[in-house]
Amino acid sequence: MILIGIIIAASTVAMAATSYGLLIATFFKTPQQALSFGSISVVMLAAIGGIWVPVFVMPPALQTLSTISPLNWSLE
């Protein structure tokens, strides 16, 4: 039963990452543009979600913003 849950969670994460990559690929003309935007956006989303910087260290405005981040939901 636990194995099924792990497989479902891993598949969901893989599909989300692939979908984000395809979304970025549709907006940019060259691979260099997509690579730059993709790597920077992932770091920014990790910071806002509390993965890179703990939420309690952030200013109140960013703490409020982090509550709508799915990355923060996964940490909670």
Q: What is the pLDDT of residues 49-70, one digit of tens each?
A: 888 888 889 999 989 999 888 8
Q: What is the pTM (predicted TM-score) of this model?
A: 0.72
Six token digits for residue 5? 């849950």
Residue type, 5: G
Return the closest-CA partner of residue 23 out of 15, 47, 71.
Answer: 15
Q: What is the pLDDT of residues 11-47, one digit of tens each?
A: 998 999 999 999 999 999 999 999 999 999 999 988 8
